[in-house]
Structure formats: C-alpha cells, structure tokens
Structure 1
Amino acid sequence: MRNYNFRNRTSFPEGYQEKSNVIKQIQNRFYTYGYDQIETPLFEDYDMYSNVQGTVHQDDMVKVIHPSGKVLVLRPDVTIPITRQYVETDMNNHYQRFSYVLDIFRYNETQQAYRTQAGVEFFGDESPEADAEVIALAIDSLKDLKVTPFKLEIGHSGIYKELLAQADLSSQEQQTLHALIQSKNISETSSFLNHLPLDQDLKQKIELIPMLYGDPSTVIEKAQALVTNEKMQNVVNTLFEVYSLLKDYQIEEYISLNLGLINNMNYYSGIIFQGFTEQIGQPILMGGRYDHLSLQFENEIPAVGFAFEVDKLLTVIAQEDNSLIKQADFLIEYQSNCRQDALLLAKKIRQANQRVVIQPIEISSELKATNIIQVDLDSYQLKNSKQQKTFLSIDQTLQHVLKKG
C-alpha cells in the first residue's frame, strides 16, 4: 500500500491570516474580471476520473471506500468536474466564467498530498481574446500580491504535438522525449533522436523545440520556419495574435514564449502557460486551453483556464515584517474596578465591525493592535504609534475612534 503523506496542516493565527489575505486578494481580482465563484464536491466517483484520458494518473488519486462498497476519490482536480457539470447543464450555449478556491488531493512522494488551488475556467470562447484575458488576469493577480520578479512562459501544444504525430513514437519514447525537452537537455535530445528511425528534417525540427524560448517576437519568427502544414501555421498565427493582445494589455514585460513548455495534463489543446519566480524552481501557476476535454463528456465546448498553487505563492510573497501583522484593530486594557465600562466600550466598538481584544491591564501581552485604549476610573486613554489622547467618557472615545476608523 502506498504511504500517503498527509502532513499536519494546522495553521496558527499568523499563518492562517496570511493565507486568508492572499486568497481574498486573488478572489477580489477574479471578481473584477467577472468570474463567479463555484465549488465542486470533495468526494467524486473514481470512475469519472479513471475514464477520462490524459488527466490525473490513477495511482496519484487518494481513494476511499464508501459504506456501499463504491470507490470514491478525494478531489484530485477541479477542471474535470467543472467541465462535466458545465456540459451536463444548459449553460453551454453561452460564455461562462467560473472561479474557485479549493483543496485538491493527490499522492506525491515529495509534497503533502493535499494543497490549495485558486483558479478560473472560461467556457464557450475559443478566441485569442479569451486566451489573453486569462493570462492578463493571472498577471494582474500576481501584481496585486506584489510577487516580484515573475514571468509567465507561454507555449502552445500544437507544434510539438504535430511533430510527435509525424514521428510516430511509442508511449515510452514520447515520455523520454518530453523529459529531455522540458529540461532543455539539447545534447541528450539530439543523441536520443539519432537512435530513432526518423527523417533527418523531422529530427532537426524536434531538436529546435527546446531552443524556442525567450523574446516572443524572435520565437514566433523562428517557429515560422518549422511550419509544414496548415495546423502548424494556425499555431503560429495564434501565438502572434495572443501576444499582440497582451501588448494591448500593456503587460508584455512579464511575458516570454517557450515552445518547449509541456504540461503533464494531456488534455491541453492550444495555448499553455506557467508562471515562475526566481525564488523557487517550480511553477506557481499553470494553465492553458483545453477545448477537447469536454468531448469526454460527449459535448465539445471550448475552454481556457489556470490555477495558482496557493501554498507555493505563500513561500514567495514578500512580507516586509511578519511581526507587524495586525492581530486586532483595538486592544482595550482595563483596571479591575473599571471592567464594566471597558466591556461596554468593547461592545460598542465591535458593533462598528471592528476587531477588539479586551484584557486586564496587569496581563502582559505582545498582541499587535492598531489602537490601544486603557480604561481607568477617570479616563479613557487612546495610545497608538501616531497619537495619544485622553477622553473623559465612552461617548467622547467612540466619537473619536470610530470617526477615524
């Protein structure tokens, strides 16, 4: 039996608050682009995933047995159940934008078996404008989070898949070639191809794939030299159109092209992209176009989307000083003979939707609060980093602190 690595994911207040803040910022950006948040079931039928080709490997799924004996899996992917639900409803006659923040569960030898993803799915639009929109949304989200520096590498599954079709490789040969191209191991790629009975011109074109990365205009020009049929020409045209749109969004500084980009999810059928930062060597987001996935649910609907790996994002987001994370809007400290007044003050401030912590003045606390109010028999003393004021009544105190809040 495989040993699933369910690590303890208890989040203490500062870590939980940090993750919550990141998710809220991402959700807000998704909202501003018109994406409606949805949720998929935690448990799904094993058959739904095992019958869908080119998606999550069966050995990577976390399986459970229902009391009826039916095999279920903990949600290993979000795109697949959303696509199925979309196909099975009457929504598939028009554009639809969905967003989500959900945990997914997959077995992994080196990482925890479950992690949080925040992503979007855009159904019904097969245009370059839709591709550019989701890429722009990903970039705006990273800018909101002040992730610096970062790059989005954009590729396209079409040219590489067309060359593979011409090469007619076995499944094992394809896997080996995928790994070599992903690692940009040019010499090993050349050596591997030389041992295959391939046309010399085809070998040379495949060898060029891992070198087609960097400045978009240059890559598109070089990719044009690989074109041998209409399908490949359409790929180059799509890359050019999407890049032109991204320039209109004025975000081209964050973009590079990489035609050696290969995603492990084989359902991608067009534009694919991944986001990287200098801090870690793994992508913090992945996405692309998957127009043919819906065919496995008997209805072809164009779609494009992406997902952030939220836990990886948390490792790269710069925190100027974690010790300054605010734990309360107000800390109210009181003398023991003024407790009733202090409780009334706390109640009224909370009614204004402010976060209040209250405690006896003699308790030593390292709580971080924007405002500290000390209550004694004669006064209410407001103390914060910018000012100190004394008030003689609750009403005076409330009038000042709530007006400023």
Structure 2
Amino acid sequence: MEYRNDCNACQLTPVHTQFQRICLFLHIKFLCMKRIIFVLFVGLSLTSCHIGRMVVYNVADVNDYKKSPQIPLRKADKPFVFAEKLLPELDTAAFPKRFITEDEKITGWESLFSETKTTSFLIIKNDTIKYEKYFLGRDENSIFTSFSANKSFISALVGIAIDEGKISSVKDPITKYLTEFKNPGFEKITIEHLLNMESGIRFRENYFNPVAEIGKYYYGKNLKKYVTNLKVEKDPGTVFEYRSINTLLLGMIVEKATGTSLDKYYQDKLWTPLGMECDATLNTDSKNGNQIKCYTGLNARACDYAKFGRLYLNKGNWNGKQIVTEEWVMSTITPVVKERSSVYYKYQWRIDNAGNYWAAGLLGQYVFVNPQHKVIIVRTGKKDGSVNWPTLMAHISKKI
C-alpha cells in the first residue's frame, strides 16, 4: 500500500475551522467558569463557613490576628518604661544545649533564634532590660500576637473581679452568671473548674481536624451562639483537659458579673494601670458578634507583655498600688499537686517545681517569670522548634 504525503488532503475546510473556533470558545468559557467558581468558593469560605476558612488559611500562624476584627486598647497616658543596661551578647555559658534541644543545627544563640524563627527575645532583671533582640524584620514597634498567652491575662481579670466583689468566689457555679446555660451538668461546673481546665465540657482542641470545635471557635463568627450548644461529657474537677472554651466562658462571666464590656475592663484594670507604652488590640469573632476571643488574640508589643510578667513578679502590686491581690497571685503560682509532675497548670498559668511560672501561647509565645532572680523573659516566634523554652529561660535566669 502506497502512503501519499499530500498536504492538500489535510487542509481544514471552513466548516472545520468554524468548529475549532467554537471548541476554543467553549474551552475558554469553561476555564473562566472554573475560576469564578473557585473565587466564589474562597469568598464564601472566608465570610461564612469556618471549615472553609480553616482550609484556606490552613494552620495557625503569627499573622492570624489580621484575619479577624480587632478592638483597640489604648496606651497609658503615663507609660512605665523599663531601664536599659543592655548586654552586647548573651553569655555562651547560659546556653545549656544538652538540656534544651537535640537539634544538631542549633549550636548557639544565633542558630537558636534563626532555626526556631524567633521574632523577639527580651530579658529583664530588676526592672532593667538586659537583652533585647528582634528578628525576621521585626523591631520594638512590631505587633506580636499572644495566642493562648492571653489566657493568663483573662485569669487576672477574674481575680480583679473577685477582689471588687463582682464575682463572689471561684467556687461559684458558672450558671450563676451564665444563666442561659440550660444543658445538664453545667450547674456543677465552678469558675475554678474553668480556671484549672477541669470543666469536663466536650471540646476537641485538635487544630488539624476541620470538624473539631477549636476550628469553629477560632474561625467562626458567632461565639455567643456556639456556646449555647455546648455539652458536659465528664464530671467537673476529675480530669485535666486543656480546652480553650474554658477561657472564653471565663471572659463571658467577667462581662456578666461586672456589667462592663471585656475590652473596657481590660483597659481600665490592666492596660492603663500597668502603664502600657503602646496601643494594642483584642481580636473578636466578627463585627456583628463583637465577642472577644478570650483564649487568644491579644496583639501587643514585646515590652508590654513584659509588664504583665512584672505585675505577677511583684505579687500583683504595681509601684505601690495593688492591681491584683497578692492572695490571687499566690493561689495562681502555687500548684495543687495531685500527682508528681515537672510542670503544673493552675489558673491559666504553667508552673514548674523550681517556682518559675509562665504564660504560654501556640508557636512558642512566652511571658516567663523567675521570682528567685527577679527575671522576666518574653519570647515570641513563628514556631516553637524542638526547644524546651521554659528550661532554657530558667537557666538564663540563673546566669544573667
């Protein structure tokens, strides 16, 4: 059979050309529709569905505070400023690598901060800044989000409300203040159960599970509605389970008990009295809901976080004025030892056996206090890394 290479035989007729044009037009229209559908999906995800926003935003990061509405906290008219006597560098003797990490890439301070994506590191001793460094484009004016370190601030507000007689006692049932909670079991939960993460409320704190409650509460837009559907699954006071819902309910109780919006109470009882140098913000669920996310979302400068550490270091006293009662602070930093542990949780703080205590947030946000050596350390960052930060900070406190 002879094969004939006849170019004229394969030329397109006008009918063929017209058909190709129609196909090309339909293909372009299809691609445009896909793009429109994708944009609509993203738009709807970001505005209405917490699961969609969780998928789009993925895991939490230090810029999350920009994705939710914010309520301002104003700097104090008379700011408190730490003295400065800066060390040029940290002593290598204060770097106990064998205690803090097994990461072979970390061999000293410089690699520690770079490998863990630290964004700020402050060391204050006897009201004097001894070390202050910022990384990854940050400086002393940068905003750092607290994540769960804000829980410790909410605890302080509970203590203040008790001192003012707005809340009778940590032994009060939460239904005394949250009267809309009608589901069985809530009448057995006390404020102290919330403070110590022993409420028994069903709440899955799994950041990688799109249907876990934490995703809904982190990205959702109607927290006041969500809490009415909560259920109790365990007897209060029997099991420690770290659950952010407990802190949200504490903030709601403070609002109900004081008759004051939580941001105003925050401003009047902490931000202004502690002489905060800079404006800050608190994240809310939405502009309509306006419910502060008490378990996260304080956004402030590193130096102002340190002032909160100073308040507890001085047993609630601020330059002669008692902001939080000494009794509350001592109750907070004195663990109830049910079983021996290296770290205890009490009133939204963590405490070790050496008497150090700290507020901690996701990705390694810390306000660390060493009362023995009168040291406060603030660390913020994009990740924890493999570092045991409290152990490192305790060692620094002895050496600085």
TM-score (structure 1 length as normaliser): 0.28
Please identify which structure carries the higher strand content.
1
Higher relative contact order (CA 8 A, sep 6+): 2
TM-score relative to the length of structure 2: 0.28
